[in-house]
Protein backbone atom coordinates (compact mmCIF):
# COMPACT_ATOMS: atom_id res chain seq x y z
CA UNK A 1 0.00 0.00 0.00
CA UNK A 2 1.29 3.49 -0.85
CA UNK A 3 2.16 5.48 2.28
CA UNK A 4 0.27 8.73 2.67
CA UNK A 5 1.84 11.86 4.13
CA UNK A 6 0.56 15.18 5.41
CA UNK A 7 2.15 18.43 4.27
CA UNK A 8 1.80 21.97 5.62
CA UNK A 9 2.96 24.89 3.50
CA UNK A 10 3.01 27.62 6.14
CA UNK A 11 3.10 30.99 4.40
CA UNK A 12 2.88 34.48 5.82
CA UNK A 13 -0.44 35.08 4.04
CA UNK A 14 -1.90 31.60 3.68
CA UNK A 15 -1.50 28.01 4.83
CA UNK A 16 -1.93 25.08 2.43
CA UNK A 17 -2.40 21.61 3.93
CA UNK A 18 -2.54 18.44 1.84
CA UNK A 19 -2.54 14.68 2.12
CA UNK A 20 -0.61 12.97 -0.68
CA UNK A 21 1.90 10.33 -1.65
CA UNK A 22 3.24 12.56 -4.45
CA UNK A 23 2.17 15.00 -7.18
CA UNK A 24 -0.08 12.53 -9.00
CA UNK A 25 -1.83 11.45 -5.84
CA UNK A 26 -3.12 14.41 -3.81
CA UNK A 27 -6.02 13.00 -1.78
CA UNK A 28 -7.17 16.17 0.00
CA UNK A 29 -6.17 19.81 0.20
CA UNK A 30 -7.26 22.90 2.14
CA UNK A 31 -6.13 26.53 1.99
CA UNK A 32 -6.87 29.13 4.64
CA UNK A 33 -5.50 32.54 5.68
CA UNK A 34 -2.65 32.86 8.18
CA UNK A 35 -4.15 34.35 11.35
CA UNK A 36 -2.91 33.69 14.90
CA UNK A 37 -0.59 30.72 15.53
CA UNK A 38 -3.16 29.03 17.79
CA UNK A 39 -5.94 29.30 15.22
CA UNK A 40 -3.86 28.55 12.11
CA UNK A 41 -1.85 25.65 13.53
CA UNK A 42 -5.04 24.37 15.24
CA UNK A 43 -6.87 24.36 11.92
CA UNK A 44 -4.04 22.41 10.29
CA UNK A 45 -4.08 19.83 13.09
CA UNK A 46 -7.89 19.40 12.81
CA UNK A 47 -7.58 18.81 9.07
CA UNK A 48 -5.02 16.03 9.57
CA UNK A 49 -7.03 14.48 12.42
CA UNK A 50 -10.03 14.24 10.05
CA UNK A 51 -7.83 12.87 7.26
CA UNK A 52 -6.10 10.34 9.52
CA UNK A 53 -9.54 8.96 10.39
CA UNK A 54 -10.10 8.25 6.65
CA UNK A 55 -6.66 6.74 5.97
CA UNK A 56 -3.59 6.58 8.23
CA UNK A 57 -0.74 9.04 7.67
CA UNK A 58 2.93 8.01 7.94
CA UNK A 59 4.39 11.42 8.81
CA UNK A 60 3.81 15.18 8.57
CA UNK A 61 6.07 17.71 6.82
CA UNK A 62 6.10 21.40 7.64
CA UNK A 63 7.64 23.92 5.24
CA UNK A 64 7.41 27.22 7.09
CA UNK A 65 8.06 30.91 6.60
CA UNK A 66 10.87 31.96 8.87
CA UNK A 67 13.30 32.49 10.28
CA UNK A 68 12.95 29.01 11.76
CA UNK A 69 15.10 26.68 13.85
CA UNK A 70 15.70 23.65 11.59
CA UNK A 71 18.35 22.00 13.80
CA UNK A 72 16.96 18.77 15.35
CA UNK A 73 19.58 18.95 18.12
CA UNK A 74 18.42 22.39 19.29
CA UNK A 75 15.97 22.94 22.20
CA UNK A 76 13.96 25.25 19.93
CA UNK A 77 13.92 22.86 16.94
CA UNK A 78 10.76 23.39 14.91
CA UNK A 79 10.14 26.93 16.13
CA UNK A 80 9.44 29.98 14.04
CA UNK A 81 11.96 32.30 15.74
CA UNK A 82 12.59 36.01 15.09
CA UNK A 83 9.91 36.64 12.51
CA UNK A 84 8.57 40.19 12.34
CA UNK A 85 5.15 38.69 11.57
CA UNK A 86 2.88 39.87 14.36
CA UNK A 87 2.15 37.20 17.01
CA UNK A 88 4.37 34.55 15.41
CA UNK A 89 7.79 35.20 16.97
CA UNK A 90 9.02 32.22 19.07
CA UNK A 91 6.17 29.92 18.01
CA UNK A 92 6.62 26.23 18.75
CA UNK A 93 5.27 24.69 15.56
CA UNK A 94 6.74 21.23 14.89
CA UNK A 95 6.38 19.76 18.37
CA UNK A 96 2.83 21.13 18.74
CA UNK A 97 1.92 19.21 15.56
CA UNK A 98 3.92 16.17 16.65
CA UNK A 99 2.19 16.02 20.06
CA UNK A 100 -1.31 16.51 18.64
CA UNK A 101 -0.99 13.90 15.89
CA UNK A 102 1.55 11.46 17.35
CA UNK A 103 3.42 11.24 14.04
CA UNK A 104 7.02 11.93 12.98
CA UNK A 105 7.38 15.52 11.78
CA UNK A 106 9.83 16.84 9.18
CA UNK A 107 10.46 20.57 9.45
CA UNK A 108 12.38 23.07 7.33
CA UNK A 109 12.04 26.46 5.68
CA UNK A 110 9.33 26.91 3.07
CA UNK A 111 11.98 27.32 0.40
CA UNK A 112 14.04 24.29 1.40
CA UNK A 113 10.84 22.25 1.40
CA UNK A 114 9.90 23.51 -2.05
CA UNK A 115 13.46 22.85 -3.22
CA UNK A 116 13.24 19.24 -2.05
CA UNK A 117 9.89 18.80 -3.83
CA UNK A 118 11.25 20.34 -7.03
CA UNK A 119 14.29 18.07 -6.80
CA UNK A 120 12.14 14.97 -6.46
CA UNK A 121 9.33 15.78 -8.88
CA UNK A 122 9.79 19.19 -10.52
CA UNK A 123 12.23 21.55 -12.22
CA UNK A 124 15.35 20.49 -10.28
CA UNK A 125 15.36 16.77 -11.07
CA UNK A 126 18.88 15.44 -11.62
CA UNK A 127 20.58 18.62 -10.30
CA UNK A 128 22.72 18.80 -7.16
CA UNK A 129 23.23 22.55 -6.73
CA UNK A 130 20.29 24.87 -7.30
CA UNK A 131 18.23 27.61 -5.69
CA UNK A 132 14.54 27.90 -4.93
CA UNK A 133 13.49 31.49 -4.33
CA UNK A 134 10.05 32.68 -3.28
CA UNK A 135 8.77 36.21 -3.75
CA UNK A 136 5.49 36.52 -1.87
CA UNK A 137 4.61 37.97 1.53
CA UNK A 138 8.35 37.83 2.12
CA UNK A 139 11.38 36.91 0.03
CA UNK A 140 13.34 33.78 0.86
CA UNK A 141 15.75 31.41 -0.79
CA UNK A 142 16.97 27.90 -0.14
CA UNK A 143 18.00 24.93 -2.19
CA UNK A 144 20.73 22.35 -2.41
CA UNK A 145 24.49 22.44 -2.58
CA UNK A 146 26.13 19.19 -3.61
CA UNK A 147 22.86 17.29 -3.18
CA UNK A 148 22.23 18.48 0.41
CA UNK A 149 19.59 21.00 1.47
CA UNK A 150 21.29 24.24 2.56
CA UNK A 151 21.40 24.65 6.34
CA UNK A 152 24.70 25.72 7.89
CA UNK A 153 24.72 28.07 10.86
CA UNK A 154 20.90 28.31 10.76
CA UNK A 155 19.65 28.53 7.18
CA UNK A 156 20.29 30.96 4.34
CA UNK A 157 18.43 34.28 4.44
CA UNK A 158 18.73 35.14 0.77
CA UNK A 159 15.89 37.64 1.00
CA UNK A 160 17.83 40.00 3.23
CA UNK A 161 20.85 40.79 1.06
CA UNK A 162 21.57 44.44 0.22
CA UNK A 163 21.44 45.53 -3.40
CA UNK A 164 22.54 48.68 -5.25
CA UNK A 165 19.67 51.16 -5.60
CA UNK A 166 18.93 53.61 -8.42
CA UNK A 167 20.29 57.04 -7.35
CA UNK A 168 16.97 58.84 -7.45
CA UNK A 169 15.01 56.12 -5.61
CA UNK A 170 14.28 57.05 -2.00
CA UNK A 171 11.66 54.40 -1.13
CA UNK A 172 12.84 53.33 2.34
CA UNK A 173 11.79 49.66 2.01
CA UNK A 174 9.65 47.80 4.51
CA UNK A 175 11.92 45.24 6.19
CA UNK A 176 11.62 45.96 9.93
CA UNK A 177 15.24 44.84 10.37
CA UNK A 178 16.98 46.33 7.32
CA UNK A 179 14.64 48.72 5.52
CA UNK A 180 15.67 48.41 1.89
CA UNK A 181 17.08 44.88 1.76
CA UNK A 182 15.88 42.65 -1.13
CA UNK A 183 12.72 41.64 0.76
CA UNK A 184 12.17 45.21 1.94
CA UNK A 185 12.07 46.31 -1.71
CA UNK A 186 10.56 43.38 -3.57
CA UNK A 187 8.08 41.39 -1.47
CA UNK A 188 4.37 41.79 -2.23
CA UNK A 189 3.72 44.13 0.72
CA UNK A 190 6.72 46.29 -0.37
CA UNK A 191 5.15 46.72 -3.81
CA UNK A 192 1.88 47.69 -2.16
CA UNK A 193 3.68 50.22 0.10
CA UNK A 194 5.59 51.76 -2.80
CA UNK A 195 2.82 51.94 -5.37
CA UNK A 196 -0.21 52.35 -3.10
CA UNK A 197 -2.15 49.34 -4.37
CA UNK A 198 -1.93 45.55 -3.96
CA UNK A 199 0.74 43.98 -6.18
CA UNK A 200 -1.82 41.80 -7.95
CA UNK A 201 -3.71 44.92 -9.14
CA UNK A 202 -0.68 46.53 -10.82
CA UNK A 203 -1.15 46.05 -14.60
CA UNK A 204 1.53 44.06 -16.46
CA UNK A 205 2.86 47.21 -18.20
CA UNK A 206 3.16 49.21 -14.96
CA UNK A 207 6.69 50.62 -14.37
CA UNK A 208 6.73 48.71 -11.07
CA UNK A 209 7.53 45.51 -12.92
CA UNK A 210 10.63 46.73 -14.74
CA UNK A 211 12.01 48.04 -11.47
CA UNK A 212 11.04 44.79 -9.71
CA UNK A 213 12.78 42.72 -12.42
CA UNK A 214 15.97 44.79 -12.00
CA UNK A 215 15.95 44.21 -8.23
CA UNK A 216 15.42 40.47 -8.69
CA UNK A 217 18.09 40.28 -11.40
CA UNK A 218 20.67 41.98 -9.16
CA UNK A 219 19.93 39.46 -6.42
CA UNK A 220 20.15 36.50 -8.82
CA UNK A 221 23.56 37.67 -10.06
CA UNK A 222 24.82 37.64 -6.47
CA UNK A 223 23.53 34.09 -5.99
CA UNK A 224 25.01 32.98 -9.33
CA UNK A 225 28.41 34.41 -8.37
CA UNK A 226 28.44 33.01 -4.84
CA UNK A 227 26.73 29.60 -5.22
CA UNK A 228 27.07 28.73 -8.90
CA UNK A 229 23.60 27.16 -9.07
CA UNK A 230 22.79 24.87 -11.99
CA UNK A 231 19.27 26.34 -12.10
CA UNK A 232 17.22 29.02 -10.31
CA UNK A 233 13.55 28.35 -9.62
CA UNK A 234 11.39 31.30 -8.58
CA UNK A 235 7.94 30.88 -7.04
CA UNK A 236 5.67 32.91 -4.78
CA UNK A 237 2.58 35.01 -5.39
CA UNK A 238 4.38 37.99 -6.93
CA UNK A 239 5.91 35.76 -9.65
CA UNK A 240 2.39 34.92 -10.83
CA UNK A 241 3.17 37.94 -13.04
CA UNK A 242 4.33 35.76 -15.95
CA UNK A 243 5.83 38.74 -17.81
CA UNK A 244 8.50 38.90 -15.10
CA UNK A 245 10.40 35.81 -16.23
CA UNK A 246 11.54 37.10 -19.66
CA UNK A 247 12.37 40.49 -18.11
CA UNK A 248 14.42 38.99 -15.28
CA UNK A 249 16.28 36.65 -17.68
CA UNK A 250 17.26 39.54 -19.99
CA UNK A 251 18.41 41.69 -17.09
CA UNK A 252 20.45 38.87 -15.54
CA UNK A 253 22.25 38.36 -18.85
CA UNK A 254 22.92 42.10 -19.13
CA UNK A 255 24.23 42.34 -15.56
CA UNK A 256 26.45 39.23 -15.88
CA UNK A 257 27.90 40.79 -19.02
CA UNK A 258 29.04 37.45 -20.42
CA UNK A 259 31.40 36.81 -17.50
CA UNK A 260 29.98 33.42 -16.46
CA UNK A 261 30.79 31.17 -19.40
CA UNK A 262 28.09 28.52 -19.48
CA UNK A 263 25.65 27.61 -22.20
CA UNK A 264 23.08 27.34 -19.39
CA UNK A 265 23.18 31.13 -18.99
CA UNK A 266 24.33 32.49 -22.34
CA UNK A 267 21.81 32.93 -25.17
CA UNK A 268 18.63 30.87 -25.14
CA UNK A 269 19.98 28.69 -22.30
CA UNK A 270 18.68 31.28 -19.86
CA UNK A 271 15.08 30.28 -20.71
CA UNK A 272 15.59 26.96 -18.93
CA UNK A 273 17.92 28.40 -16.28
CA UNK A 274 15.59 30.87 -14.54
CA UNK A 275 12.26 29.10 -14.36
CA UNK A 276 8.97 28.90 -12.44
CA UNK A 277 8.42 25.83 -10.23
CA UNK A 278 7.77 22.64 -12.19
CA UNK A 279 5.10 21.83 -9.60
CA UNK A 280 3.36 25.19 -10.15
CA UNK A 281 1.35 26.48 -7.22
CA UNK A 282 1.64 23.04 -5.56
CA UNK A 283 5.42 23.45 -5.14
CA UNK A 284 5.13 24.62 -1.54
CA UNK A 285 2.78 21.98 -0.24
CA UNK A 286 4.35 19.12 -2.21
CA UNK A 287 7.67 20.29 -0.78
CA UNK A 288 6.15 19.78 2.66
CA UNK A 289 5.08 16.27 1.55
CA UNK A 290 8.70 15.62 0.49
CA UNK A 291 9.88 16.76 3.96
CA UNK A 292 7.36 14.34 5.50
CA UNK A 293 8.69 11.47 3.37
CA UNK A 294 12.21 12.26 4.53
CA UNK A 295 11.02 12.16 8.17
CA UNK A 296 8.70 9.14 7.98
P1 LIG B 1 2.68 33.29 1.08
O2 LIG B 1 3.70 34.35 1.26
O3 LIG B 1 1.66 33.21 2.19
O4 LIG B 1 3.27 31.95 0.76
P5 LIG B 1 2.14 34.10 -1.65
O6 LIG B 1 3.41 33.49 -2.12
O7 LIG B 1 0.90 33.87 -2.46
O8 LIG B 1 1.78 33.69 -0.18
O9 LIG B 1 2.41 35.67 -1.55
C10 LIG B 1 1.43 36.59 -1.24
C11 LIG B 1 1.87 37.95 -1.79
O12 LIG B 1 1.88 37.86 -3.22
C13 LIG B 1 0.95 39.11 -1.42
O14 LIG B 1 1.75 40.20 -1.03
C15 LIG B 1 0.20 39.41 -2.73
O16 LIG B 1 -0.03 40.81 -2.84
C17 LIG B 1 1.18 38.95 -3.79
N18 LIG B 1 0.48 38.43 -4.98
C19 LIG B 1 -0.43 37.43 -5.04
N20 LIG B 1 -0.86 37.24 -6.31
C21 LIG B 1 -0.19 38.13 -7.08
C22 LIG B 1 -0.19 38.42 -8.48
N23 LIG B 1 -0.98 37.78 -9.36
N24 LIG B 1 0.65 39.40 -8.89
C25 LIG B 1 1.44 40.06 -8.04
N26 LIG B 1 1.48 39.84 -6.72
C27 LIG B 1 0.68 38.89 -6.23
ZN1 LIG C 1 15.68 42.49 5.68
Q: How many domains does the chain have?
A: 2
Atom of ligand 1 nearest to the CA of 11: 3
Assess whether the C-beta atom of 236 lies below 6 angstroms from ligand 1: yes
What pLDDT is stored for residue 296 in this prediction? 83
Atom of ligand 1 nearest to the CA of 189: 14
Distance between Cα 245 and ligand 2 center (Å): 24
Name the helix (H) or strand (E) containing 211: helix 207-227
Whether 182 and 77 map to the same domain: the answer is: no
CATH number of the domain bearing residue 242: 3.30.420.40
Task: For a ligand 1 pocket test, name from 31, 199, 237, 245 the mutation site with the most ligand atoms within 8 angstroms of its C-beta.
Answer: 237
What pLDDT is stored for residue 162 in this prediction? 98
Whether 271 and 133 map to the same domain: the answer is: yes
Q: Say if residue 1's pLDDT is above 80.
A: no
With respect to residue 117, please indicate whether it lies within any of the assigned structural domains: no
The CA-CA-CA angle for residues 252, 255, 256, to 5°, reads 85
pLDDT, one tens digit per residue, over 245-275 is 999 999 999 999 999 999 999 999 999 999 9
Q: How far does the chain reach from its first CA to its final CA, in angstroms? A: 15
Confidence of residue 83 (pLDDT cuts 50, 70, 90): confident
Assess whether the C-beta atom of 42 lies below 6 angstroms from ligand 1: no
What residue numbers bound the domain in which 218 lies? 123-276
Distance between Cα 152 and ligand 1 center (Å): 28
Q: Say if residue 77's pLDDT is above 80.
A: yes
Question: What are the backbone dihedrals phi and psi of residue 86, each rounded to the nearest 5 degrees, phi first?
Answer: -55, 125
Q: Say if residue 36's pLDDT is above 90.
A: yes
Assess whether the C-beta atom of 12 lies below 6 angstroms from ligand 1: yes
With respect to residue 292, please indicate whether it lies within any of the assigned structural domains: no
- Residue nearest to ligand 1 atom 12, measured at CA: 237
Distance between Cα 137 and ligand 1 center (Å): 6
**Average pLDDT, integer, range 151-179:** 96
150 bridge partner residues:
none
Amino acid sequence: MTALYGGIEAGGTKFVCAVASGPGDVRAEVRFPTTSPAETIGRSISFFQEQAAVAPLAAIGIAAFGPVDPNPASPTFGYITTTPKSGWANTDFASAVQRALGLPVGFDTDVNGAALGEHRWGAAQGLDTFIYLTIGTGVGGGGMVGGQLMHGLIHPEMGHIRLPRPKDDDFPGICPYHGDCFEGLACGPALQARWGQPAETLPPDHPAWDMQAQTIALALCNYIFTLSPQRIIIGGGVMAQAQMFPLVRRKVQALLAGYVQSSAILGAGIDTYIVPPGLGNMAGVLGAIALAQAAG
